[in-house]
Every structure is written in structure tokens, then in C-alpha cells.
């Protein structure tokens, strides 16, 4: 299929799926003022990293590195684990949701080189929830109650059927599926947000957040409610999510207002952002160093499996590549693009600290372990085994495509002609990691027991792919001077859990991209009302993902 644009055809591959091609229902006109943006580069002058004398050799080397980055098969579990960080696992999927909100590239391909200047971002590079609101009730009324009736002033988002799972011995009455067509596909602003059971129900929470705010503010117009919801979402991303994943030193330098009042945010008037590398000429753009490398840090945070509620066992995120001894066979996986089973209703206190749970220590009663807060895995150059075997609903049915997420990331970065991590570090004025500091494996393991990047292949000497470099930098910094996150528990009080965070290279790319998007968005609260504060704060006067989830659940 060819989508015509002025002076330039953009060819979309036949199979794209969420990680590289056009999902069904997203055949938008590239000229849409709401959905078009540009990909570009932060470091245009840097040469691309090459890894072999031929394309075949480069792909082979990158596949070798991808295999080294996949952790040995581990049984899906929700008990205490050395690989856990102190970040609640809901943030993994908030990160995925945000990615879908700001980027969608239907034209690039893993099978050929790509020109970033010719790529169009079919998502606005803004935190505007267009994956929830799409083009609004006038253009897409089928997403809204009363969307095609100008007399219907409510304009609430259509939700799916109620799910009747069980948690803590009682039914979960406030969990819902997404609205679906007869073929089971979700009817939402971005079909990618039905990719797995967790991000699907997070999308549903955002629908409910809007609807509750609409119900409690009937005097406001749809546009005013939409703005308030977007402001709260932008606040969570910039002051909560980024604090969880970017090192404090980097975030304080790029967004000093996040810590402007000690541990509380000030505002961008008194403490403006400092951008050294993100400098759009006219409007916000999506840096490939961000979308194809640094922001893919979240893939390392994925657990091999999750327990959704008290009534069912742990389910793998995707199928394991093998079944090691001692692993109970799973009756299903958490793959999406299908109607939700009632048993999949999420008990959100397992994913974010809406209410303290037991620490889940090995000697705790089984019931307590089954009710614990599940924590994201550490940011490091290690991905869990199920991510080496992505479902065809994600990759497309072509048997020749890469099933390994690590391989897909590495090959995409190479096809996009990204520079090496060391080259980016030098361009930032940062001393690059030595090859011996780039250890491939879990941050919880002793560095000496892990292979260095050159032990994987000599072709990577001083020439580490940017995505792997960003993950290795976080792990190296963690071993040298770990930061911590606080995890409230009912059994052990507040636990301080060591948590790797994005360092100078990865953190700068991520923080500057978000700051640049907010500054360039004339409808963001940074521009419309920079001293704005959330109105839906919790008892501690904070508004984080925890408060967003609590409010949406009612």
C-alpha cells in the first residue's frame, strides 16, 4: 500500500504490527495536522555505527549480541527476586503507553536501510493522549457516547464490558475490558494499546479517568475536561515516571523544576529546563536516538510473567522458548488483541502501590506472597526469555521476521544508521564507557561473571550499539553508586530497593526529548499554565501514577 504525500510516496510494508508496520485501523492520511510529525536526529554529524563488512555479517553479529542479552529461561513468578528494582511494574506499561502516545512509524522496515528524514511519525510528538481521544468526537464519534449528536454534551468515552476477576478473596467489580468489534479487536484510538493484557487494561483506566472527571465536572465543556485530563497525565509523566527511571543527577540538570522544592516539584517558570542537544528548528520532532534506542530501556524492565489477581496463577507475558524443569505449564499467556477473559481482571495494587502489600519474602505465607506488589525488573542489558519469542500478533505472521525483541531493537537501530553509544557519549562531552565496563547481563549479577561487549564479539570494540550502551550504562552506574526507590509494605515497613536508572547518555536523551516535546507543545501545561498543580492529589499532596489509578477506579 502506498500513501501519497506531496512530492514523496511513503510505502508501508504488508506486515507491520506494533513494532514496525501499520496496525489495522491506523491507515491515516499523513497530512493530518493531528497525526503527523517528523523523526530526526539529535546528533546528525555523528557517523553511523557499522558492525561488519556486509549487511549479512552485521545482522549476524547483532543477532549474536541479542542472544547474549536474553536471560536464561526463568519460571514466571511474582515472589521476591534479585532482578527486581524498586519500581512498581505498572510503570513498565505506562512507559509502553507513553511510547504509543508519541510515536508510530508505519514506514520503516527491519529488512532495509531507512532514511530518518523521510519517515513520518504518525503520532504527534506531544503528551496529548491522542491514543485515547484519537481525532475527537467530531471525527471519530464511534469512540464516544453521543459522539455523533451535537446535542449530547457529555462526550464520554465508550468503555468495554465489566470483568469479574477476584482479588484478596473478593470480586474485582471495577475492572473492564476495552470496547470491541465483533472480531474481537479493540475499538480505541490506537490498536497497539491492546498488545498485551496489562497495557490494554491501562488504556481502559485512562478511558475511565476521563469519564469520571467528566461526571464530576458537568459544567465544563468536553475540551476543558480533555485539557484537565491531559494536564494530569503530563504531570505524571514528567514529575513521576521520569523520576523513577532517570538518574537524579541527570534529571536535576535537564528538568531542575522536578526537584525545585527539595523533593517536590516547583515549576518551569522559576526553574526552566536546560536543553543542550534537543533543538527543533520549527516544531517538535522525534529523535531516533530516543525512539530507536534510549527509550527502549523499558524492555529490560519486563518480568517473565505476572499474577493479575488473587484467583489465578502467574501467566507469562509471552510463551517461553522452552520449559525448564520445575516450571508449571501455563494455561495461557498475557498476549492481547483478543477479548479479555474475566479471570484477567487486574488487581491494580499488584502493579502500583495503591495500598501496601506484603513484601513477598520467601518465608511469608503463600497467601501474602500471592498478594504482593510486583516490581519491575532492573534496567540493564538483560531481557527475559519470553521476549525472545514474540507472538505473531506482535511481529506479524511472516516466518522470516525476527521473533526476538532484542534482535529487533538492535537491527532497527542499525538500519536507522544510529551512532554508537561511545560516539554519542563523546559528543555529549562525557567519558565513554570502556569496553570492559559494558557487561552483558543482569545488573544483580557480579560484573566479573558477565561477558564484556568485546567478549560477545570483537566487532563491538569501542562500537557498542546505542540501545545496549544505554542499558549497560545504567547497570554500571548502579554497581558504582546505586540509587534506591521506596517500596511500602505491610510486613517490613518502607523498603529501600536498589534501582538502576538511566545515566548520562540514556538519561539525557530521554529527559531532553520529553522536555523538548513539552516546550514545543503550545497546549501543554508548561505553556498554557506553567504554575498549574494537579487538583486530584492524594493525602500526601502528591499526584503520581498511584493517584491516577485510584481516581480512575473510583
Residue 337 lies in a domain: no
Report how far residue 242's alpha carbon sits from residue 248's, in angstroms, rounded to the nearest whole number. Answer: 9
Where does the pLDDT of residue 369 fall: very low under 50, low under 70, confident under 90, or very high at 90 and above?
low
Distance of CA 226 to the CA centre of its chain: 22
Q: What is the pLDDT of residue 441?
A: 96
Distance CA 545, CA 202 (A): 11
Give the confidence band of 400 by pLDDT, cuts at 50, 70, 90: low
pLDDT above 70 as % of the chain: 85
Residue 299 is given by DSSP the state G
In the chain, the N- to C-terminal Cα span, in Å, equals 44
- Residue 117 pLDDT grade (very low, low, confident, very high; cuts 50, 70, 90): low
Per-residue pLDDT band for 27 (boundaries 50, 70, 90) equals: very low
Q: Which of 181, 178, 139, 142 is nearest to 24 (CA)?
A: 181
Considering its fold, how many domains does the chain have in total? Answer: 1
Q: What is the SS3 assignment for 223?
A: helix
Q: Exposed/middle/buried for 331, CB within 10 Å: 0-12, 13-18, 19+?
A: exposed
Model confidence, pTM: 0.89
Q: Rounded to an integer, what distance in angstroms lies between the CA atom of residue 533 and that of residue 236?
A: 11
Q: Give yes or no for a contact between 442 and 393, defined as CB atoms under 8 angstroms apart.
A: no
Beta strand 375-377 with 484-488 is: unpaired
Residue 130, domain member (yes or no): yes
Domain with 45 in it: what CATH number? Answer: 1.10.640.10
Q: Is 331 among the domain residues?
A: no
Residue 262 lies in a domain: yes
Instruction: Kindly state whether residue 311 falls inside one of the protein's structural domains.
Output: no
Average pLDDT over residues 444-451: 94
What average pLDDT does the chain have?
Answer: 87
Q: What is the DSSP string of 115-140?
A: -GGG-EESS-SSSS-HHHHTT-TTT-
239-253, 365-379, 538-552 — most confident range: 239-253
Asked, for residue 211, whether it belongs to a domain, the answer is yes
Asked, for residue 446, whether it belongs to a domain, the answer is yes
- Domain boundaries, position 131: 2-302+374-553
Residue 238 forms part of a structural domain: yes
Q: At what angle do helices 222-236 and 197-216 cross, to 10 degrees?
A: 130
Q: How many helices (H) and strands (E) does the chain have?
A: 17, 15
Amino acid at each position: 500500500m502506498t500513501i501519497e504525500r506531496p512530492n514523496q510516496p511513503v510505502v508501508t510494508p504488508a506486515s507491520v504490527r506494533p513494532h514496525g508496520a501499520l496496525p489495522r485501523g491506523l491507515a491515516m492520511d499523513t497530512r493530518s495536522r493531528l497525526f503527523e510529525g517528523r523523526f530526526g536526529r539529535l546528533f546528525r554529524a555523528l557517523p553511523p555505527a557499522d558492525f561488519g563488512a556486509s549487511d549479512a555479517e552485521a545482522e549476524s553479529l547483532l543477532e549474536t549480541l541479542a542472544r547474549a542479552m536474553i536471560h536464561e529461561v526463568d519460571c514466571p513468578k511474582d515472589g521476591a527476586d534479585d532482578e527486581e528494582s524498586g519500581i512498581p511494574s505498572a510503570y513498565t506499561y505506562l512507559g509502553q503507553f507513553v511510547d504509543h502516545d508519541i510515536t508510530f512509524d508505519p514506514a520503516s522496515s527491519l529488512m532495509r536501510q531507512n532514511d530518518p528524514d523521510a519517515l513520518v511519525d504518525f503520532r504527534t510528538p506531544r503528551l496529548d493522549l491522542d491514543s485515547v481521544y484519537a481525532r475527537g468526537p467530531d471525527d471519530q464519534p464511534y469512540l464516544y457516547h453521543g459522539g455523533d449528536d451535537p446535542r449530547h454534551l457529555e462526550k464520554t468515552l465508550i468503555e468495554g464490558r465489566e470483568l469479574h476477576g477476584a482479588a484478596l478473596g473478593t470480586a474485582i467489580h471495577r475492572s473492564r475490558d476495552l470496547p470491541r468489534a465483533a472480531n474481537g479487536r479493540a475499538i480505541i484510538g490506537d490498536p497497539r494499546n491492546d498488545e498485551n493484557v496489562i497495557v490494554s487494561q491501562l488504556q481502559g483506566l485512562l478511558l475511565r479517568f476521563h469519564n469520571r472527571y467528566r461526571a464530576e465536572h458537568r459544567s465544563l465543556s468536553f475540551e476543558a475536561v480533555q485539557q484537565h485530563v491531559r494536564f494530569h497525565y503530563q504531570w505524571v509523566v514528567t514529575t513521576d515516571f521520569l523520576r523513577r527511571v532517570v538518574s537524579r543527577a541527570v534529571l536535576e540538570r535537564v528538568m531542575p523544576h522536578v526537584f525545585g522544592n527539595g523533593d517536590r516539584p516547583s515549576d518551569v517558570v522559576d526553574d526552566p529546563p536546560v536543553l543542550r542537544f534537543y533543538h527543533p528548528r520549527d516544531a517538535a520532532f522525534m529523535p531516533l536516538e530516543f525512539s530507536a534506542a534510549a527509550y527502549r530501556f523499558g524492555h529490560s524492565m519486563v518480568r517473565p510473567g505476572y499474577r493479575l489477581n488473587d484467583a489465578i496463577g502467574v501467566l507469562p507475558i509471552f510463551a517461553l522458548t522452552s520449559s525448564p524443569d520445575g516450571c508449571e505449564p501455563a494455561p495461557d499467556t498475557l498476549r492481547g488483541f483478543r477479548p479479555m477473559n474475566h479471570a484477567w481482571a487486574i488487581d491494580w495494587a499488584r502493579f502500583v502501590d495503591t495500598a501496601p502489600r506484603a513484601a513477598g519474602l520467601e518465608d511469608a505465607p503463600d497467601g501474602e506472597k500471592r498478594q504482593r506488589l510486583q516490581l519491575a525488573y532492573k534496567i540493564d542489558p538483560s531481557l527475559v526469555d519470553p521476549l525472545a519469542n514474540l507472538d505473531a500478533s506482535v511481529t506479524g505472521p511472516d516466518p522470516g521476521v525476527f521473533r526476538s525483541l532484542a534482535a529487533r531493537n538492535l537491527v532497527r537501530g542499525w538500519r536507522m544508521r544510529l551512532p554508537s553509544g561511545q560516539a554519542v557519549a563523546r559528543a555529549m562531552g562525557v567519558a565513554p564507557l570502556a569496553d570492559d565496563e559494558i557487561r552483558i547481563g543482569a545488573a544483580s549479577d557480579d560484573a566479573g561473571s558477565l561477558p564484556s561487549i568485546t567478549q560477545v564479539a570483537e566487532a563491538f570494540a569501542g562500537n557498542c550499539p546505542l540501545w545496549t550502551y544505554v542499558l549497560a550504562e545504567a547497570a554500571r552506574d548502579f554497581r558504582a553508586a546505586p540509587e534506591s526507590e521506596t517500596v511500602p509494605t505491610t510486613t517490613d515497613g518502607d523498603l529501600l530497593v536498589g534501582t538502576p536508572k538511566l545515566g548520562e547518555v540514556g538519561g539525557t536523551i530521554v529527559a531532553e526529548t520529553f522536555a523538548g516535546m513539552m516546550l514545543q507543545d503550545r497546549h501543554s501545561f508548561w505553556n498554557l499554565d506553567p504554575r498549574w498543580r494537579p487538583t486530584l492529589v492524594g493525602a500526601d499532596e502528591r499526584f503520581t501514577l498511584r493517584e491516577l489509578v485510584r481516581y480512575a477506579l473510583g
